[in-house]
Structure 1
Amino acid sequence: MIDTNTNPLHKALFRILRPLARLLLRNGVPYGEFSELVKRAFVEAALEDFSDGRRKPTDSRAAVMTGLTRKEVKRQRDILAGENPVPETTSHANRASRVVSGWVHDSTFQSGDGQPAVLAFEGEQSFAGLVRKYSGDMPPRAVLDELLRVGVVVVEEGTGHLHLRKRAYVPSGDSDDMLQIFGEDVSDLIATVDYNLVSSERDRLPLFQRTLTYNNIPPDVIERWRKHAAGRSQALLEDLDSWLGPYDQDLSGSVIDDNAAEPVRTGISVFYFEEPVQAGKSGEHQ
């Protein structure tokens, strides 16, 4: 039996898994299905992240590292290789986000002062043209309906012109798009924490990682704090987006040199949290 009260890593994992279990149960994912995904993640990590610089680990070494049998390692490796593909849900979150980003940064869709222009649905410098440029084969009407649904875009009465109300696309609820963002955000956070845990051993500077936390705030302050935190966080992200966005090669239209180094995925994630303080809460023994 694993004692989550003594091992610091076990305690940290329990805190991660507790809200994850709640999300899985709410979305009808039982333990067996989750366990299968965990096996796959362990096998992929063993095979991809622990090579000796010359060749990838063998199935035998991956079995030793993960505690799985060689047969199970091979089965999971075959799934990962596509020999026994697992159906995946295609999400349009990235496409909708790219449309908004193009509207903010592409000068073709900006007004004279460099702000996102008011767009007609069709025609020159139109929303349809924006979608065609940044969302591939997605129908412009479907993209507009989604952006209207989440309040990113508003329609001007009389003219039908489209105004960008928010500079970021954030889906709502447990939709496929929101679950995709959940996977990206949590994996990015864990990757940053993992990097920082070993950075000193490898003579690397840690990545920026900060959290502001208080645990004795009166309930009547929370609503004001929520609004203040959201406003300041949005302003910060928009400022950072204004600096970094123009360097994105898809948005800038710059020609990519075949001999150039591989591009880098980078960014900043900001999230808000709150929960009641509960003495003796499970997994947080004093």
Structure 2
Amino acid sequence: MIDHGLQHPVMVELLKKALVDEALASAPTDRSSTDTRIALQTGLHRKDVRRLREEPVPEGVAAPMVPMAANVVARWISEPRFLKADKTPLPLARTPRLGHPGEPDFPTLVAEVSRDVGARAVLDELLRMGVVSVSAEGMVLLKDTAFVPQEGLGDSFHFLAENVGDHLAAAAFNLSPDRQGPPLLEQSAFSSELSADQAQELQRAARRLWADVLQQFLMSATVAEQRSSSDSGPKQRVRFGVYFHQAISTPSLPAEAAQPARRHKKKPTS
């Protein structure tokens, strides 16, 4: 927050807004969603509650094309028709004319995700974010197996909010005193006392493992979406992620060493 100029007054205002929004979302009935009840629940002044409730909903931090572009990449790395024998993404012809008969092309990929957005618009967005490149022969190449925008803070903040938000929501659900249902998956593994080289090697191993898991999960998700299309009940959304953090180890001190040294007065000897 310091790096991006988010100072204390702005942070406090964001927290106030989040408290009011959550109080409204958890209200049992509309009648109970009064300014007074929310003020008592959150500790905010009623004037702040009223002001924040009347503020217009801001537009999303990400452009509408970002989720669409992410879905295209997800299908690219999970649909067997768009993969090589070793399960790496195939280069796709930018237009059908540049490809070979019977081989999938980029417009076909986009059309399978949505017919509301043209392939050229999606390609321009992926190029802008640095996710793909186009060869001199007109082949679209995916630079990585994960959707990682290289440019645009708005795009990066969008995924930060989505990923960290759902991660925290899963942890909060598991700690909820009135939780309904089994706990959600929210675990991690850790190792310490590593050299810098070995820590980097573990990061590379984690990326390899995630690439395999991501591909398997997306394939399962595609089947699940198809099976859910005929279900008329309320629809659910899921997010499955992974993270890796690396930092200098801070050795923990023994309990007695962590306490400040006490000076004892010596008793006079006889």
**Which category of TM-score, normalised to the shorter sequence, fits these structures?**
0.7 to 0.9
Kindly indicate whether residue 250 of structure 2 is the aligned counterpart of residue 268 of structure 1: no
The TM-score normalised by the length of structure 1 is: 0.69
Cα distance change of structure 1 residues 171 and 165 upon mapping to structure 2, 3 Å threshold: closer
Matches within 5 A, 1:184-223: 184-198=162-176, 204-205=182-183, 207-214=185-192, 216-217=193-194, 221-223=195-197
* Aligned residue type for 2:196: I
Contact 2:173 2:183 in 1 (8 A): no
1:118 maps to which residue?
91
Shift of 1:240: 2.2
CA RMSD of aligned residues (A): 3.5
How far, CA to CA, are the matches of 2:89 and 2:230 in structure 1?
29
After alignment, is 132-141 or 160-169 more displaced?
Answer: 132-141
1:179 maps to which residue?
157
How far, CA to CA, are the matches of 2:81 and 2:225 in structure 1?
11
Cα distance change of structure 1 residues 229 and 153 upon mapping to structure 2, 3 Å threshold: farther
1:32 maps to which residue?
9
Contact 1:107 1:114 in 2 (8 A): yes
How far, CA to CA, are the matches of 2:252 and 2:32 in structure 1?
47
The TM-score normalised by the length of structure 2 is: 0.73
1:145 maps to which residue?
127
Per-residue Cα deviation, 1:209-257 (whole angstroms, up to 9, x for no partner): 124142x44xxx214422x223222222223223321243599656712
Contact 1:120 1:126 in 2 (8 A): yes
1:86 maps to which residue?
58
Structure with higher Rg: it is 2
How far, CA to CA, are the matches of 2:28 and 2:141 in structure 1?
53
Shift of 1:191: 1.6
1:10 maps to which residue?
none
**Moved runs in structure 1, 4+ residues, more than 6 A?**
none
Cα distance change of structure 1 residues 110 and 260 upon mapping to structure 2, 3 Å threshold: farther
Structure 2: 5+ residue runs without aligned partners? 260-270
Cα distance change of structure 1 residues 112 and 211 upon mapping to structure 2, 3 Å threshold: closer
How far, CA to CA, are the matches of 2:208 and 2:92 in structure 1?
24
Shift of 1:90: 2.9
* Aligned residue type for 1:129: T
* Aligned residue type for 2:199: W
1:48 paired residue among 25, 42, 49: 25
After alignment, is 31-40 or 237-246 more displaced?
Answer: 237-246
Seq. identity, %: 23
1:17 maps to which residue?
none
Shift of 1:89: 3.2
Cα distance change of structure 1 residues 253 and 45 upon mapping to structure 2, 3 Å threshold: same
Shift of 1:106: 3.0
Cα distance change of structure 1 residues 52 and 254 upon mapping to structure 2, 3 Å threshold: closer
Aligned residue pairs total 245
Shift of 1:115: 4.9
Structure 1: 5+ residue runs without aligned partners? 1-23
